[in-house]
Chains A and B, each alone.
Chain A
Amino acid sequence: MTLDVQNLRVTPFGADSAVLDGVTFSLKQGEKALLLGPSGAGKSTLMLAISGVLQQLETADVAGTLVAASSGLLLQNATDSAICDTVYRDVAFGAESAGVARLSIAGLVEAALDAVGLGELDKGRNPQTLSGGELQRMCLAGLLALKPRLLLLDEPTSYLDDESAAEVRDAVSEYLRMSGATALIAEHIFEAWLPLVDKIFVLDASGRLVAAGDTDEVLKRSGRQLADWGMWVAGGDPLHSLVTTAETGGHITALVGRSGSGKTTWLNQYLRSSLETAPVGGVGWLPQNPANTLTGNTVLESLTATALALGEDPKLTQQGGQEWLRRMGLEGMRNRNPHELSGGETRRLALASAFMHKPGLVYLDEPTVGLDTLSWKNVVDAILEAKHSGARIYLATHDAQLLKLADEVITLEPKSAPIAQATKPQLFSPLAMFAASALTLAGALAFRSVSAAALALFAEAILMALAMWLVPSLRRFGLLWPMAFGVASVGFSNWWLSDAHSVEAAALVAIRVAFFGLPGLLLAAAASPSELGDQLGQKLRIPARPVVAAMVGLNRVHRLRGNWASLAFVRKVRLVAKKGLAEYWSLILFSLIEATRSAESTAIAMESRGFSAKDATGKPVPRTWAIEATWGKLDLLLLAAAAGCVALGLFGL
């Protein structure tokens, strides 16, 4: 038995009721099954429990017995699942967690990337520059590297275009064929998986297993039920049941193209340029990350914020808001905090928020992704209604059904060159740079003579200039200004606010600050978080888990910065931005909320690759490092240079 679940009951800490209620089923070696059920049925929770991640997270009470072979869990959102800053590190992550020796890891990574059809990929590339399909296959490779006996796939293709989804399915089926492994697959639009599976399990909204058996049998018996729950059952074309009204007024332009072809960029640029001419409040926007539209303390507040900012009647707006919540299937949630909503609910609320104030221009980024048929109809209804009232609508989508409604389709070709990424060159070991910097601080605080200190600073500046001359990537002159500013103000204030008003003493303080600050420019220009982590873990033997988690946090910076910027922009477009410091504080809060949400997904992705794995005796598995931390001659040279400058300052002249 590869998987045996008996009477599984899961209750999240702090929740009133169980998410999974007495689930019992099993899978034999090599069996492949679909897991179906309405949104919120606990499919993801079941996957997490089977993979053991839920128990690692310690966020829920898990009762019942559960026996499962070594498993790999693939998640819906590949962007959050990608952990590291290069493809190589990312695919190697699971092997590192399992304590595989460095020399063996290289072969595993190679084989795993080959197995998912990414053998040609540059392994030094940043995963976030890959297309959606490539990214999901890379995550799959990360699981396959450990040769799991049980593959758990949680909505693996719902964010992908058809072509990319097919590539992911092919990679999965190839692995299952080669390895004879068992698989459990949850997916909303499940038809394409049917040829691959032998069994279907169905969960209902309260987390109980209501049907189980062979594929055809379950579809025959429960097909109708599934369709009622909004599952995409074969033959049901949701467009049929739409109310089509006479063509009037508006216009729908659809942008299509594979993920990574720049649909979002195109949409955002168009939105920005239209803001210059559009009337205030005349724009509705569903951004790529719908959570950025959330504001206020309740769902209703978030929904009505733009309309109220436009000065519409509060009472009518409230009523209109209620109506929109009903249409989007959110009526029970009006007083909930908007950030508590699930991903799908957030998207629907953001859609309602885009339409609610009746804008003449509407920009929608993937409005129907991941929706069940019921929500899908409501969303499409809303789009058509806006069109008929004369709105100009631009939407980016890979939904073939939705495309049928477009008056005009623009196809974007994938960009041929990958997005240029700023990689920091490996020059000095980050540890050597820190050591040199620390040396200059210790030395500088002991400087006593102004002339000697000035000489030391001069020597240091010459060396820095030399380094910049030799290595173009170190020429980050922009970093110099804040430092120069700091040095000047330290010198001035130490003169002005002292008792003695000694120019010499103040100059000494300023020179010291400049002296120990300068080497930091090297760090800012040349240290990468991952290399720093390698050094801290291997050379200083700092425990691996905190080091690795810190690396993941630091590598997240570009995304966090991007999200900060788009959050600020969305708030302006929605007319909910406050002024000055109040807005700064709001941005901090909302970006922390968003960071926390993505941290939870990342934690799941890391735990599913064994981040906190324990061996049979309950001891943590010692982590290995895929990339060796090295010290070279350049590092010694750097330390010698720092020591030389310090010596000049201490003993010179």
Chain B
Amino acid sequence: MNANSTKPNLNWRGIDLITTAILAAALGVAFWGFDVFVYPITSTIGNIYPPLTELQLGVWIIPAVLGAVLVRKPGAALYAELIAATLELLLGGNPWSWTILVSGACQAAGVEIIFGLVRYRRFNVGLAMAGAALSAVFEVFYEYVSWVPDYSLTQKLVYMVCGVISAAVISGFGGWWLVRALGKAGVINAFAAGREARKAANS
């Protein structure tokens, strides 16, 4: 359903910018709830074996996938992810403080690269999962340097695998699914992604 041979319009409309910004902010609010109410619990449990906490990584990559799959333009993943991260920073209550922005850039990079490689012409769930997984790789490398430099090689590997699986499932599949659900609800008819989702739902 996503195959499209015509050249896509890659210029940002006003509604692209505004919808992405407000959706990212809404996700930022959801993350803030996650940071404050869920993360302390899961990461305490995770202290039994810390690399397992990386199974949550995907939650934070959702805006990148959502932005890219909804808007289908270069920079959408980065734009959405940075806004969500800024919001999380301004609300406070998370252990990463402002470096959440560095993470945000890493978490969008993979998604941007994968959709850039197909020149913003296909936006299927497979590409979304691949993009999210690549983003996880970037993020985990950044964490190797700043957060877990002393882990042994084996532990670093486990850490990476957990992060990549989480990203592919939660943000890759989850982000793609959210856009489709928005499309079925009929609230993103102004976007090609929304019109395609509705056509698929009606047929």
**Cα separation A584 to B36 with both chains bound (whole Å):** 13
Are B195 and A14 in contact (CB-based, < 8 A)? yes
Q: Indicate whether A193 reaches chain B with its CB closer than 8 angstroms.
A: no
For A239, the chain B residues whose CB sits under 8 A away are none
Q: Which A562-594 residues have a C-beta within 8 angstroms of B? A: 564, 584, 587-589, 591-594
Scoring B25, B50, B51, B184 by chain A CB atoms within 10 A of each residue's CB, the highest score goes to B25
Number of A-B contacts (CB under 8 A): 243
Are B18 and A552 in contact (CB-based, < 8 A)? yes
Q: Indicate whether A493 reaches chain B with its CB closer than 8 angstroms.
A: yes
B17 CB contact (under 8 Å) in A519, A549, A589 = A549
Q: Which A517-557 residues have a C-beta within 8 angstroms of B? A: 517-521, 523-525, 527, 529, 532, 545-546, 549-550, 552-554, 556-557
Are A545 and B17 in contact (CB-based, < 8 A)? yes
**Cα separation A612 to B14 with both chains bound (whole Å):** 6
For B23, the chain A residues whose CB sits under 8 A away are 553, 592, 595-596, 599
Are A516 and B90 in contact (CB-based, < 8 A)? no
Write out, one digit per residue, whether chain A residues 206-226 have a CB within 8 A of any chain B CB (1) or not (0): 000000000000000000000
For A524, the chain B residues whose CB sits under 8 A away are 89-92, 97
For A612, the chain B residues whose CB sits under 8 A away are 13-14
Assuming A482-B95, A599-B19, is B29 touching A337 (CB within 8 A)?
Answer: no
Scoring A12, A561, A611 by chain B CB atoms within 10 A of each residue's CB, the highest score goes to A561
User: Shortest distance in angstroms between A398's beta carbon and chain B's nearest beta carbon?
Assistant: 29
User: Shortest distance in angstroms between B141's beta carbon and chain A's nearest beta carbon?
Assistant: 13
Are B43 and A489 in contact (CB-based, < 8 A)? yes
**Cα separation A532 to B188 with both chains bound (whole Å):** 29
Are A520 and B151 in contact (CB-based, < 8 A)? no
- Which among B79-87, B121-129, B130-138, B160-168 touches the partner chain? B79-87
**Cα separation A340 to B186 with both chains bound (whole Å):** 5
Scoring A532, A549, A552 by chain B CB atoms within 10 A of each residue's CB, the highest score goes to A549
- Which among A270-278, A324-332, A371-379, A497-505 touches the partner chain? A497-505
Taking residues whose C-beta sits less than 8 angstroms from the other chain, chain B's interface range is: 35 or more
Q: Indicate whether A473 reaches chain B with its CB closer than 8 angstroms.
A: no
Scoring B38, B91, B99, B199 by chain A CB atoms within 10 A of each residue's CB, the highest score goes to B99
Are A497 and B19 in contact (CB-based, < 8 A)? no
Scoring B29, B34, B97 by chain A CB atoms within 10 A of each residue's CB, the highest score goes to B97
Write out, one digit per residue, whether chain A residues 281-309 have a CB within 8 A of any chain B CB (1) or not (0): 00000000000000001000000000000
Are A489 and B50 in contact (CB-based, < 8 A)? yes
Q: Which B27-50 residues have a C-beta within 8 angstroms of A? A: 27-30, 32-36, 38, 40, 43, 47, 50
Are A595 and B26 in contact (CB-based, < 8 A)? yes
Are A476 and B92 in contact (CB-based, < 8 A)? yes
Q: Which A587-629 residues have a C-beta within 8 angstroms of B? A: 587-589, 591-600, 602-603, 606-607, 611-612
For B51, the chain A residues whose CB sits under 8 A away are 497
User: Shortest distance in angstroms between A101's beta carbon and chain B's nearest beta carbon?
Assistant: 23
Are A497 and B151 in contact (CB-based, < 8 A)? yes
Assuming A14-B195, A482-B40, A490-B147, is B99 touching A592 (CB within 8 A)?
Answer: no
Give A341's nearest chain B residue, CB to CB. B186
User: Shortest distance in angstroms between A105's beta carbon and chain B's nearest beta carbon?
Assistant: 21
Are A556 and B15 in contact (CB-based, < 8 A)? no
User: Shortest distance in angstroms between A37's beta carbon and chain B's nearest beta carbon?
Assistant: 22
User: Shortest distance in angstroms between A594's beta carbon and chain B's nearest beta carbon?
Assistant: 8
Are B89 and A483 in contact (CB-based, < 8 A)? no
Give B33's nearest chain A residue, CB to CB. A564
**Cα separation A493 to B154 with both chains bound (whole Å):** 14
Are B99 and A441 in contact (CB-based, < 8 A)? yes
For A550, the chain B residues whose CB sits under 8 A away are 21, 79, 82-83, 86
Q: Indicate whether A387 reaches chain B with its CB closer than 8 angstroms.
A: no
**Number of contacting residues on A, CB 8 A?**
84
Assuming A57-B15, A552-B21, is B79 touching A478 (CB within 8 A)?
Answer: no
Assuming A14-B189, A520-B99, is B148 touching A494 (CB within 8 A)?
Answer: yes
For A611, the chain B residues whose CB sits under 8 A away are 14
Give A591's nearest chain B residue, CB to CB. B26
Assuming A498-B152, A509-B150, A596-B187, is B19 touching A603 (CB within 8 A)?
Answer: yes
A606 CB contact (under 8 Å) in B12, B14, B148, B187 = B14
Assuming A546-B79, A554-B86, A592-B178, is B96 touching A486 (CB within 8 A)?
Answer: yes
For B194, the chain A residues whose CB sits under 8 A away are 14
Assuming A56-B13, A550-B79, A612-B13, is B22 touching A437 (CB within 8 A)?
Answer: no
Are A497 and B50 in contact (CB-based, < 8 A)? yes
**Cα separation A476 to B90 with both chains bound (whole Å):** 12
Give B39's nearest chain A residue, CB to CB. A482
Are A523 and B90 in contact (CB-based, < 8 A)? yes
Are A14 and B198 in contact (CB-based, < 8 A)? yes
**Cα separation A478 to B96 with both chains bound (whole Å):** 14
User: Shortest distance in angstroms between B153's beta carbon and chain A's nearest beta carbon?
Assistant: 8
B13 CB contact (under 8 Å) in A57, A499, A529 = A57
For B29, the chain A residues whose CB sits under 8 A away are 557, 560-561, 564, 591
Q: Indicate whether A512 reaches chain B with its CB closer than 8 angstroms.
A: yes
For B79, the chain A residues whose CB sits under 8 A away are 546, 550
Are B146 and A513 in contact (CB-based, < 8 A)? yes
User: Shortest distance in angstroms between A82's beta carbon and chain B's nearest beta carbon?
Assistant: 14
Q: Indicate whether B118 reaches chain A with its CB closer than 8 angstroms.
A: no
User: Shortest distance in angstroms between B19's beta carbon and chain A's nearest beta carbon?
Assistant: 4
Are B18 and A606 in contact (CB-based, < 8 A)? yes
Scoring B17, B91, B184 by chain A CB atoms within 10 A of each residue's CB, the highest score goes to B17
Are A493 and B99 in contact (CB-based, < 8 A)? no
Q: Indicate whether A58 reaches chain B with its CB closer than 8 angstroms.
A: yes
For B10, the chain A residues whose CB sits under 8 A away are none
Scoring B17, B26, B185 by chain A CB atoms within 10 A of each residue's CB, the highest score goes to B26
List 20 A-B residue pairs with CB atoms under 8 Å apart, sorted by A's residue number: A337-B186, A437-B97, A482-B94, A490-B148, A493-B47, A494-B150, A495-B150, A497-B51, A497-B155, A509-B148, A517-B99, A524-B92, A529-B86, A549-B21, A588-B27, A597-B187, A599-B19, A599-B22, A607-B15, A611-B14
Told that A550-B79, A560-B26, A589-B182 touch, could you supply 5 new A-B pairs with CB distance under 8 A? A13-B189, A14-B195, A59-B190, A489-B95, A599-B19
- The list of the 6 closest CB pairs from A to B, nearest first, reads A486-B95, A520-B97, A553-B21, A520-B98, A549-B17, A340-B186
